[in-house]
Amino acid sequence: MTIELNADQRATTGAATALRGLLPGRLHVPGDEGYDAARVAWNLAVDQRPAAVALPRTAAEVATVVRRAAEAGLRVAPQSTGHNAGPLAARGLDDTVLLRTSELSSAIADPARGVVRVEGGTVWEPAVDAAAAHGKAVLHGSSPDVGIAGYSLGGGIGWYARTLGLAANSLTAVEIVIGDGTLVRADARTNAELFWAVRGGGGNFGVVTALEFRMYEIETAYAGFLMWDLRDLEPVLREWAAWAPDAPDEITTAFRAMRLPPMPELPDFLRGRELVIIDGAVLGSDARGEELLAGLRALKPTMDTFARVPAKSLVRLHMDPEGGAPFASDTAMLRAFPDAALDAFVAEAGPDARTSLLMAELRQLGGALGRPHEGGGVLKQLDAQFVTFAGGIAMTPEMGAQTHADAVRFTQALAPFQSGRQYGNFAETPVDARSIYGDDTWTQLTGIRSAVDPHGVFLANHPVPRLYEGQATS
């Protein structure tokens, strides 16, 4: 099949072709043998078709791509794994170089400084392992193959979050290529305004080539999951939702209603089943963990795996899929979860619901997440009781459309209880970025974006605009 390009597409493809010699064998334009493989996001339902895909291996190569793309009139979109690629692709990439950072991958623990240093394309598992080798832990996500940069720059809610806060606020430094192709370091003393902005501001300010973040004295945790049949959803959710908002800081949990397909790769205890799962971790003694879980255990789960485990094992506790999957979803932040919210959740995700959703999840917030983090970044706290995330498999465009519609119906049923804010890391479709940050920080963010990217070279999945003569432009 021959694809006809319009004049603008031909122009941008020609501009991108002029970049090919920069990275021999690692910069691809449409028609190149390696283009289709290079543009694939972790979320396989997202069809990214950029003007070019670049895979640099060093910070110097990143800087060169940024400079040459800008000279050619092209934008640059940084991306590590592409877990949250949907909003980026939806905005169009015809004039954009997709800069995949996956070749920038290493993790080194520095126990003397108490930090782990990673390159910008590193995923969580090697960083978790590097810290664990010294009996320590980092604020990783719920999956081993999520990119550290995207997760951390967007916030980062992990299994220690109610004790230690967002991952963004445990960053101690980043190295980042800004709009003129300069590589700079940003930390509490150097480029402090930029350092504030990237901790929650996402990929709007440049291409992060390295990050440093704190390690914590966590070698083990009391962690695991409790499981019930989906028909027990209402009483279990009622108990958990009443307990979770004011639970002590040392416990962080998540609640999911799940309809799992009969896929052979799933373990027997999950395959083809409809379940309620509460998983989480306690940073305390076994006795303290048993005390905190007593009310839930009184509801007689069919499986209970909570026990003393190595901290490094928590990176797979949530049993998220690895290696890429086609997915569609929707999300919302909830200021409260009264009985009417519980009824809406059960109606849309319970045993009698007619839905394509694989899962409907509530992440427990509060604790350290709800208090301002001293010296923190843009997302110094999350002002909500829960963040919800609902989604399912999107093997075909038709399945994706149906799943997304069901996810939106689920979040709309909870609309009366929403906070009006968004958590960008879970927003896999375009949202107004102002709703992530709030009006109080918006002007500061747009000013910093204007300073480090005055010509609008960078394109992020949740874009912060530049300021131009008092008007916001992308």
Number of C-beta neighbours around residue 398 at 10 A: 9
Are 175 and 104 within 8 A, CB to CB? no
In terms of domains, do 263 and 314 share one?
Answer: yes
CATH classification at residue 212: 3.30.465.10
- Decide: 107 and 124 in contact? Cβ < 8 Å: no
In a domain, 449, yes or no: no
Report which residue type is found at 46. Answer: V
Domain final residue, candidates 100, 119, 141? 100
Residue 442 has which token pair?
A: 């918006």
Residue 338 lies in a domain: yes
Claim to verify: residue 184 and residue 207 sit in the same structural domain: yes
Please tell me the number of Cα atoms within 13 Å of 17 on its side-chain side: 9
Residue 417 domain-assigned? yes
Q: Residue 3 has what pLDDT?
A: 40
**Where among 79, 100, 121 does a domain terminate?**
100
Residue 352's CATH number: 3.40.462.20
Percent of the chain with pLDDT over 90: 90
The closest alpha carbon to 400, from 156, 46, 1, belongs to 46
Domain count, the chain: 3
**Residues 83 and 111 reside in one and the same domain:** no
Q: Please tell me whether residues 45 and 59 are part of one structural domain.
A: yes
Residue 179, domain member (yes or no): yes
With respect to residue 119, please indicate whether it lies within any of the assigned structural domains: yes
Structural domain of 65:
7-100
Domain C-terminal end among 67, 100, 133: 100
Q: Same structural domain for residues 190 and 228?
A: no
pLDDT score at 125: 98
Which residues have C-beta within 8 Å of that of residue 332, sequence separation ≥ 6? 387, 388, 411, 414, 415, 418, 422
Do 91 and 124 reside in the same domain of the chain?
no
**Residue 238 and residue 135 in one domain:** no
pTM for the full model? 0.94
Asked if residue 422 belongs to a domain, the reply is yes
Mean pLDDT by 10 residues, the chain (474 residues): 46 73 92 95 97 97 97 96 95 96 98 98 98 98 96 97 98 98 98 97 97 98 98 98 98 98 88 96 98 98 98 97 95 98 98 97 98 92 97 96 98 97 96 88 94 96 80 48
- Pairing mode, if any, of strands 274-282 and 251-259? antiparallel
Residue 266: predicted pLDDT: 86
* 370 and 329 co-located in one domain: yes
The pLDDT value recorded for residue 237 is 98
- Same domain for 35 and 81: yes
Note whether 196 and 120 are same-domain residues. yes
Residues 234 and 344 in one domain: yes
Q: Report whether 328 contacts 407 (CB < 8 A).
A: yes
Same domain, yes or no, for 161 and 51?
A: no
